[in-house]
Structure formats: C-alpha cells, structure tokens
Homo-oligomer: A and B are copies of this chain.
Amino acid sequence: MDTENPLSTVWPLPVRGEPFHRADAESLRRMDAISAATACAKLHTMGITRTAVQGPTALETGSRVVGSALTLQFMPQREDIASGHGQEYIERDTALWAVLETVQPGDVLVVQAWGSAFTGCFGDMLVRYFKRRGGAGIVVDGRIRDAARVRRLGVPIWCTGTTPHYASQTDLFPWAYDVPVAAGGVLCLPGDVVVADDDGAVIVPAAKAPALIQDAEDHEDWESFSRMRLEQGARLSDYYPLSANSRAEYELWRDSRPKLPAQ
C-alpha cells in the first residue's frame, strides 16, 4: 500500500470536482424569509418538481438554515480501495476530512450517504470543526453519531437518524466532494441554495433563486394578509387562496401599507 496516500492504489481518492460558485449573498439573504414549503411549491410551479429531500428530518425541532451547498459523496466500501477497519489512519485522508477543510462561512454541507442506517457520517469532533469554520448546517442522507454532544453544538442538522457507528465502520466510505450528489432522491449541485426547516430540506437550483424569491415574497405577503382575514373570521374559500375579489382587496391593503421588508 502506498505510504504517501494509502487510498491511491486502485482508485485515486479523494475525488474532487471542479471549482464552483457559491450562491450569491443577496439571494441567500432574501431567501431567509422563505419557508422550505414555499420554496418547494414555487419551484414546482416553475417546473422544477423534485426538490424536497426525502428521508432526512431535523435533528432538533425548530431548526432552520439557508445556505450555499457544499457537497460530499459516499460510495460503498471495498477493502481493496479503502475501508474503515483502522479508522484513525484512513479516514483522515478521505473526502470527509478534505471537504471540511474547504468549508466557508454560511455553507450547508449536503451529503449523499444512501440513507444508510449503519453510517454515522459525522460525530462531535467533525461537527465541532465544521462549526468553527463557519458552517451553517448539514443535510445528510444518512445518520450522525455522538448525537448528545452534537446537539449541544447547535449546528442545524437534517439526517435520517443516529447510530453509534462511525463513518466508515460498515458499509460506506467517503469518496468525493465538490461533485453533484443525490440526497433523498434530489439532485444537488455544488453552489445550489439549500433551504431547510421543520418541513425538511429543499434544494433550489442556483439559477432559479432570483425568480423564486420574487414569487415567494409576493406569496408570503398575500398569505399574511389572508392569515389576518381568517383570524378576523373570514371564510377560508374567500381568502385562501385569494379570489379575484380578495386579491384586489389585498393589493389595496398592500399598497396602502407603510413600506417594510417582507415578513
């Protein structure tokens, strides 16, 4: 086995994808007022139908994050390439460590881990380091470990559960980063926008963000009007969604409001 890089004999690891552009700060700032549900619905009407990551749920109720996607991909473990039987000496050289050294403030790490019940992709030490580098959140189609300590770190995480297993203990191995990944049946390119909350995580294609934001801001605004009317006793079918009449009423209300940021 090559002493320089013990992973390199059969297939050179880690694989690193091409450089990519992170989502722009202004998009991320405005997206902050938009729920995962609204993002998902608006993308659907824009023709992008597979955006909600299936499987991972918020580790803590009340979690929420918006950020630019940084990606990590696991593949099935194979002992002639790399395995986790001596974790201390192997994982250090993998995509798992490598991607963490590239985290920039605000990044959301999106991880293809095949929904494995046996792979604890991140534990206390790695999440701690991720946080120190400014990482904003993690969406992993797999499990985490050291859950009690990880919870205390306060990094919002969407995962498929917890496990005592470490990342390469059983079935998977960190393979690549900065590459397109599939998480919970959704494609995520590096630099896409991730919006995640208690409903789950939604991947917003980077180029779709501006149109989505405009549409969603209007939506969140008229919904707040509808909500007010419903609280005042109005009939659901008259105000949600807006009818022609109530849309007109809303627009009057909207235009006569003092100007404030949405939400």
Residues of A whose CB lies within 8 Å of any CB of B are: 10-11, 35-37, 39-41, 44-45, 47-52, 54, 57, 61-62, 64, 75-81, 85-89, 91-92, 97, 100-101, 114, 117-118, 120, 123-126, 128-129, 132, 145-148, 151, 161-166, 169-171, 175, 180, 182, 185-187, 189, 197-200, 202, 205, 207-208, 223, 226-227, 230-231, 233, 235-237, 240-243
The closest CB in chain B to the CB of A123 belongs to: B37
Indicate if the CB atoms of A186 and B76 lie closer than 8 Å. yes
Indicate if the CB atoms of B227 and A36 lie closer than 8 Å. no
Indicate if the CB atoms of A147 and B198 lie closer than 8 Å. yes
Indicate if the CB atoms of B208 and A80 lie closer than 8 Å. yes
Query: Which of B50, B79, B164, B235 contacts A47, CB < 8 Å?
Result: B79
Copies of this subunit: 6
Indicate if the CB atoms of B240 and A199 lie closer than 8 Å. no
Indicate if the CB atoms of B80 and A145 lie closer than 8 Å. no
Indicate if the CB atoms of A86 and B45 lie closer than 8 Å. yes
**CB-CB under 8 A for A146 and B87, given A76-B50, A101-B237:** no
* Cα–Cα, bound, A207→B79 (Å): 12
User: Known pairs A37-B165, A45-B85, A175-B180. 9 more at Cβ < 8 A?
Assistant: A37-B120, A37-B123, A41-B169, A48-B78, A50-B77, A76-B187, A125-B227, A132-B231, A162-B198
CB neighbours (8 Å) of A223 from chain B are 125
Indicate if the CB atoms of B35 and A146 lie closer than 8 Å. yes
CB neighbours (8 Å) of A86 from chain B are 45
Indicate if the CB atoms of B199 and A145 lie closer than 8 Å. yes
* Cα–Cα, bound, A128→B92 (Å): 47
Query: Which of B79, B114, B189, B236 contacts A101, CB < 8 Å?
Result: B236
CB neighbours (8 Å) of A37 from chain B are 120, 123, 145-146, 164-166
5 example contacts (A-B, Cβ-Cβ < 8 A) are as follows A10-B207, A45-B85, A92-B240, A97-B237, A145-B199
**CB-CB under 8 A for A235 and B125, given A76-B185, A187-B77, A207-B10:** no
CB neighbours (8 Å) of A117 from chain B are 54
* Cα–Cα, bound, A92→B245 (Å): 14
